[in-house]
Every structure is written in C-alpha cells, then in structure tokens.
Structure 1
Amino acid sequence: MRPPKQSNNPNVESAMLAVNHSDELESHCPPAPVINSSGNSENWMVLSVAGETPEPRFNHAATVVGNKMIVVGGESANGLLDDVQVLNFDTFSWTMASSKLYLSPSNLPLKIPSCKGHSLVSWGKKALLVGGRTDPANDKVSVWSFDTETECWSVMEAKGEIPVARSGHTVVRASSVLILFGGEDAKKKKLNDLHMFDLKSLTWLTLQCTGTRPSPRSNHIATLYDDKTLFVFGGASKSRTLNDLYSLDFETMVWSRIKIRGFHPSPRAGCCGILCGTKWYIAGGGSRKKRHAETFIYDILKSEWSVAITPLPSSITTNKGFSLVLVQHKDKDFLVAFGGCKKEPSNQVEVLIIEKNESSMGRRSTLSKFVGLMQFAKRSSSAGPASQTINGSSRSSVASAAKQNLASVIEHGSEADDRSGALSAPTSIYQFYDTRMAPLSRKNGILEVQLATALASRDTAERTLASALKSKEEMEKKFADAMKEMELLKEKLAGIELAHEEANNLSNIVH
C-alpha cells in the first residue's frame, strides 16, 4: 500500500467487505478484519492487487457478497460496459466473471444490457442490479440478479407499480426490501419519487409521503439509519448542484429538511457515502466546474458536519464516478475507493485507514450488527508515511495461519450475515409495508376468486358454444339432406307432369 503516485509495490494479505458505488450505498456495516499493524496513515494510499486488472471505468456499481467485491458495468473510454469484475479479498486478485447471459422467461439466452448510473445491492449470495441507463434502453426500472456462485444472471419479473426507467438514483436495502429514490429519466427529467420493492413477492409499491420532501435530483447519496430513517444528501437538480440534507421517518412517513448550523459541505453531486454506526462518511463529488477532495463525516445523533481528511489532488477520490468500499475492525476502519474518471478513466484502488480512537478527526464509529474476525499482516518501514508498505516479508511468518483464519471467518461471517438478515426485519418499514400491502393482498385475493369464477364461466360458455356449433353442423346436414330430397321430389313431379301431358295427348288422339 502506498500514497498515490508513489512507486512502491506491496503485496497485501487481507479480507474486506464493500458497499455500493457513488450513487448508492448500503446502511448495514459489513464484517471486518482483525488487523495487526503499526503506524498511522493520514491519507489515501494506493492498494496493489494481482490478477487481470479491469478495464478503467467510472459510473460503475459495486457491492460485496461474501469475500468478493462485485463490480458491474460503467463507462470506459470505449463506451458503456456490460462486464462483471470480481475482486477476491482472500487473494486480493481480480477476475472477470465468465457469464454474461441470463435466461428470459421463454428460456431464450439474452445478453445483459450495457449500463451506467445503476445501483448494485447485495442480497444473500446474489448481487441485484437496479435501473441505470442501459443499451438497449428500457421503459421501466428493471431488476437483475447475479448469482455469485454460478456466475449466472437472471431477470426478476417484477409486478405492481413499476417505476419509470432512470439513472443516478439511490437504492438502499433493509432485509428483503429495497428503497429507491430520485434519479433522472431518459429525457433528463429529474425525479424525487420514492418506491419500495419487496424481494420476496417481487412487487413494486409507490410510497406516498407528507412534509417537505427533497426537490427532484440525481447523483445524490442516501442511507438508511436504524431501519427507520432515510437520509438524502446533495445531488444535481435541473439547474444547480445541491448540498441540502433531508430525512424521512418511516414511522410517520414525513419528510423533513435538516438545517445545520455552522459548517456544512459545499454543493456536490456524484459523491460517495457510507454509514457506519451513527457516522456517515462522504467522499468526493462536485459540480460541472469543480471536483471536491474532502472526506466529510456527518454525525447523525449530533447533526454535525466535520472534515475527516483532505486527500492529495492525485487521489481517485477527486475523480468523477468512483466507488467506495468500507472495511471495519475494532481498532481501525478502512475506506477503499476504486475507479472513476478525471481526464481519463481509472482502475486504481486506494485505501484510507481511519483510526477510530483518533480524537482529532472524530472517527469513532459503532458497529451494531456485524462483527467479523479476519487477519492480515502489515509492516511499516521507517522512512515515513510516504513509504509505508504492506509487504511479503512480514507475511511469511503468519501466512498459513492467516489464510486458514480468513477462510473460516469469512465462511462463518457470511452465515451470520445471512442469519441476521433473515431474522432482523426492519420494524418501521415493514409496519408501513404491511399497512399498505394488507388491503392490496385482500383485494388481490378477491380478484383471484373473481378470475377463477370468470374462467369457470368462460369454460362453460366454451362448452355451450361447442355444443351449439355441433347442433348447427347437424342442422346444416339435415337441411342439406332435405334439399336433396326436395330436388328428387321436383324431378319426380316433373316426370309425373310429363306423363300426364302425354296421357292428355293420347286421349285427344283417340277422340
């Protein structure tokens, strides 16, 4: 690991978990490694990885499933991308997923669309791709599922009030429910609608709220705190870049604008955000004219902004459309950035080590749900921060044990994450969901009964029609036979008339 633009080439043995790209983030904190290290890092450091390096990109999406970061699509110098790149945190090496195909409902293999400005959300062992600007384009928001074990795509056949297609939106997940907000449609119209997608019933529902809701926007960030409150920050409206902050209480379904006294970030769009405990870390972003480098912290409980770090100008956090990754531990937090574009697209990976106990930066974070145990070795040289590295010499004595611990912890950590996700339903969201969905379910049951009755009536009508058609055919046959008999009678009558006429002629001759 090294500062940006340095030439050191370290090798890294670690395991990390990620959240989503700059336009979308996950509220739950992932499992974290136990890190044995010395020294401090006060800036973003380049992280060296092995394997086949992905094509440089920006406006992509990323999420973590198990011990792998899944990166999908984005925009490169050659246009939109449709590939799936996987960064394995056991080996810290890149691979490209072999599959690009999914099966349609008719079992026809179709290629997933190239996309940018989409969202990627983890759910169990799958990565869910939601919306985005695609080629070919869609009229409605589509949801695809990528199975990380089989590396196969499948399309999720959604029903209900499906939102209009969009990009630059945000999607957060609470258990088996997705919350989608804002973005812009194919005509560049900014949106501020709110939708819920139930992953179990595959049903979309439009949420109606009161209060002061955010203005239409795209390329904002959002997060869900305690499964009760949705926060939305910044983004771009039709005419300007924003730095306003809103919250939505899912217990009352009321929007509120949060007014901050004192310091607050300048307007920015396309930034990245990660919620860990009560601290919301926000990096990068900017306007059409200027990109911002600072990494901010918003304290949800105190409702205060602070600056965590100002990176070097060469850091990829000053890029447009990069993604952000979170790694956590009892003593340290790691923010990991990937890709983005400044003058050219990038495929660089950078990491910022955050000392939780470092009071000068206010970086204390609380993990309330997921704590993992992993290991990797780090060695710091004595030449100063610019030359601090993680290299193979300090790994050699712990490599074997570390790999075994990593594999074991990731396996059990994933199982714990799945169990936690299955058992901890978001109370407030599901209360509202049940309130809205219960009458719809009852109505759906009534409609199903009516449909069954209608189908039975249709079957009866079809049988009656078939009987009528059969009777018609029989009557037509009888009519045809009657016509034949009539023709025969006509012929006999003509013969009788002819014989009668001949008889009359003979009678006249006799007389």
Structure 2
Amino acid sequence: MEERLCSELVARERSGHTAVVDTNLLYVWGGYMSIDEEEVFLPSNEIWVYDLDEGVWQVFHMKGEVPPSMSGTCGCSLKGSMYIFGGCDDNGQTNQMFCVDLTDGKYMWRKIAYELGSPPSPRDKLSCWVYNERLIYFGGYGHKQLTEFDSRNKSFVIDEASWVTDIFWGWNNEVQIFDPVQATWSQPNIQGRPPAPRAAHASATLGSRGYICGGRVTETRMSDIHFLDLKTWTWTEILPASSCPVGRSWHTLTAVSHNTLFLFGGLSADCKPMSDGWLIDVDTKTWTELKHPFQNKPRLWHTASPGKDCDVVVFGGSCDYILLVDKGHCNDALIFQTQPHPLFRICEDFIAKNVRSSEMLRNQLHLLPPKLLTAVQRRASFYRPSKKQSVS
C-alpha cells in the first residue's frame, strides 16, 4: 500500500472530479475545490497526468470544444479516449457529452453530436459501465420537465425540497446506452426488479455484468448491491451471505479480479466520512473487510481506478462532510494492494526501494538487461523522498 506525492508539481485538491487510468498513467480532470469558503470549479481546459511508475505529475493545456467546468460528471475510458457525460456546472445539471483522445498528446476536446435517439435528462452523480464498446449509464440526480414526468413511472423519485411549478428534480434508476461509433442513444428492455432510484452510488463492470452498490435517495443512504446482466438486460439483487458494509453514498467500487470488487470510503447514513475498504466475492456473495494503512484517511466523492496487478488507485475527494465543512479536499493518491503481487514486481520494487541505500545494488545495477534497467530506474524515481508540494 502506498501514498505518494512525489513530484514538485502536484494536482490541485478536488472533489467530484473525473479520473481514469490508461496503461501506467492516471488522468484527472475537473471537479471543484474550496477557496475562502467558496466552491470553485477547477479549470476545464487542463488535464493532470500522474505517472504511476515514476510518481511524477504533469499538467497539459486542453483545446478544442472544451466543456464547461463541472463536478459530478460521469467519466469513463474506452479505446484510449475519455468520455464525460452529464455533471453540474454554473447553470445546473447538463446532459451533454464530450470526448478527448488521451493517446495522441494533443488533448483536443470534441463535443459529441447525437445522431439518433434521446440522451438521458440532465443529471449528475450518475454511473457508467463500459461493455461491448458501448457506454451504459445508470441513475443519477437531475431534473425533468413537467412534460417528461409521469407519476405512474417508478423510475423517478421526486425531491420534494426542489420541486417548482414546471420542473421536477429527483433521483432515477434509468438505464440508457450510448454507442460511440454510431453516436446513438437507446434504451434496453429491462427485465427483473430494478434497484431503487439513486445517485452518488458506486458502480463497476465485471465481465458481462454491471454492478451498483449503495447510494442515496431522499434522506436514505443504502448498502444494497445489484447487477445488471448486460446481455439479457436482467436485474438481480445480491443478498450477502455475510456481514456487509454500512449504507453509504459518494463511495467507489472497483473490479480487481474476475469475481471480486473493492469498495472504499464514502459518507455513511449518519454523515460520517468513511475510510473502510471491503472486498466482495460475487460468486460466494461474501463481503470481507480489507485491512489497509489508510484508516486515518477517510474519503468521499473521490475517484478509484484499476491499476496494474489488481491495485486500486484512489485520488482526491474530501475527508470531511462536504455539505457542512467543505474544507477537506485532498490531492493525494492512495494505492491499495488488493491481491498478492507477482514475484517480478516484488523483486523490481525491492531493488527500486533499496538501490539508494545499498552500495551493492548500485554497483550491480548496470548488469541488468536494458529494458529491466529502465523499469527499475523509473520505480526508483517513485520511491525517492516525497516533496509533497501542492500547486496553489
């Protein structure tokens, strides 16, 4: 388990941001932070890139059809591109979609024009599964026009505190599919009993299943877990065979093996920031609490991305109840080891950690094959003394 802020340049503190991992790079975009007790959206024309091998941050200027600065947008990675949908900007929730190629070094935003079908209504704090080269969106909090609302439809729960004459705000459990190749939206014919409408839940894709866990609707924060079969479009609830995590929202869920998901953090039903980590075996339906060294680092509205060797890379988020305190935004990367590392990585990390203090290792380092030598030198950069200097 590692916590690193290795470079002099470090991404700003933030919550409600988007982050994806592609190869060995963590890409961070958007979100908001607090300045003088004011909520400030972070610039939408910059993307922060963290090298997970070297522990070094870089920031790049973005061009093209730059989206507005937002938080609560739903981001995902597909074939080297990052897609964002929805979110909340200065004008409220949106249902626009943007895409950026992460592989060409240009970081050129493109606003996606929909060719067919209707997108989901404006919303934020939703989730997405990537399957069969399509993006499948679920849930979220947003608004519908009076003409869109049907009181007989149980897929939308009204937030009574936010209702006005001709607009309804609330939570939903809708499933909608976007095909990036055709630029089309569609809605599958859903079978089974769907989970209750919700937002600020956690989701992950495992094989041909899309999982969701917890989240908030009205004043309730839930602990239930469901999966949607992305071939048959059938919902199934998992009834745990063991004790399970308490209900929460603003947490994360990450696939770490063919049958295991990792849950971390969030905000509990009594508004307590959480730092616990859990593994669920979806075959045996068993939850197991994972002991880790970050028990003193609660996080909510953070991001979690799968890294190499079943690691999970958690970045940013808040360590306080952001609706009350809103001063606890973070910018550290927490790397969770959820499975035993391969022998090669254990050896590589051992050499990288000790090469500075061991004269024998330094004298023998040049004997390594060139490719391995380069890898070890990069890892040694990761383990150099942390400067922990934030960007203002």
Structure 1 match to 2:71: 116
Decide which of 354, 378, 383 is 2:349's aligned counterpart.
378
Q: Cα deviations across residues 265-300 of structure 1 (Å, max 9, x unaligned)?
A: 110111111112110111111235212222111101
User: Which residues in structure 2 correspond to 1:371-450 (within 5 Å)?
Assistant: 377-379=348-350, 392-393=356-357, 396=362, 397=365, 401-402=371-372, 404=374
Matches of 1:309 and 1:252, distance apart in 2: 36
Structure 1 match to 2:130: 173
Higher deviation after alignment, 297-306 or 147-156: 147-156
Structure 1 match to 2:25: 68
1:342 aligned onto 2:319: yes
Q: Tell me by how many angstroms 1:341 deviates.
A: 1.3
CA contact (8 A) 1:295 1:308 kept: yes
Matches of 1:374 and 1:135, distance apart in 2: 45
The residue type equivalent to 2:334 in the other structure is E
Matches of 1:268 and 1:292, distance apart in 2: 9
Decide which of 49, 59, 62 is 1:96's aligned counterpart.
59
The residue type equivalent to 1:341 in the other structure is S
1:299 aligned onto 2:281: yes
TM-score normalized with structure 1 length = 0.59
Matches of 2:272 and 2:23, distance apart in 1: 37
- Closer/same/farther in 2, CA of residues 406 and 169 from structure 1, 3 Å limit: farther
Matches of 1:113 and 1:265, distance apart in 2: 36
1:353 aligned onto 2:325: no
- Closer/same/farther in 2, CA of residues 49 and 119 from structure 1, 3 Å limit: farther
User: Which residues in structure 2 correspond to 1:195-344 (within 5 Å)?
Assistant: 195-227=176-208, 229-276=209-256, 277-287=258-268, 289-309=271-291, 311-315=293-297, 318-329=298-309, 333-343=310-320, 344=328
How many residue pairs match? The answer is: 329
Q: Tell me by how many angstroms 1:375 deviates.
A: 8.9
Q: Determine which structure has more spread, i.e. the larger CA radius of gyration.
A: 1
Q: Tell me by how many angstroms 1:312 deviates.
A: 4.4
CA contact (8 A) 1:143 1:156 kept: yes
Q: Cα deviations across residues 424-482 of structure 1 (Å, max 9, x unaligned)?
A: xxxxxxxxxxxxxxxxxxxxxxxxxxxxxxxxxxxxxxxxxxxxxxxxxxxxxxxxxxx
TM-score normalized with structure 2 length = 0.75
1:50 aligned onto 2:7: yes
- Closer/same/farther in 2, CA of residues 198 and 392 from structure 1, 3 Å limit: farther
The residue type equivalent to 1:218 in the other structure is A
- Closer/same/farther in 2, CA of residues 339 and 256 from structure 1, 3 Å limit: same
CA contact (8 A) 1:141 1:164 kept: no
Q: Cα deviations across residues 38-96 of structure 1 (Å, max 9, x unaligned)?
A: xxxxxx53224214111111111110223321101011113111231111235321111
CA contact (8 A) 1:131 1:143 kept: no
Q: Cα deviations across residues 173-203 of structure 1 (Å, max 9, x unaligned)?
A: 1142001000101564111100000010010
CA contact (8 A) 1:145 1:156 kept: no
Structure 1 match to 2:41: 80
The residue type equivalent to 1:155 in the other structure is K
Provide the aligned C-alpha RMSD in A. Answer: 2.9
1:184 aligned onto 2:145: no
Decide which of 110, 113, 128 is 2:83's aligned counterpart.
128
- Closer/same/farther in 2, CA of residues 356 and 88 from structure 1, 3 Å limit: closer
The residue type equivalent to 1:235 in the other structure is G
Q: Tell me by how many angstroms 1:377 deviates.
A: 3.6
Q: Counting helix residues as a fraction of each chain, which structure ranks higher?
A: 1
Matches of 1:54 and 1:347, distance apart in 2: 6
CA contact (8 A) 1:194 1:208 kept: no
Structure 2 match to 1:360: none
Secondary structure of the 2:274 match is: coil
Matches of 1:251 and 1:323, distance apart in 2: 27
- Closer/same/farther in 2, CA of residues 225 and 351 from structure 1, 3 Å limit: closer
Secondary structure of the 2:329 match is: coil
Decide which of 157, 161, 183 is 2:113's aligned counterpart.
157
Matches of 2:2 and 2:336, distance apart in 1: 6
Matches of 1:390 and 1:355, distance apart in 2: 23
The residue type equivalent to 2:30 in the other structure is G
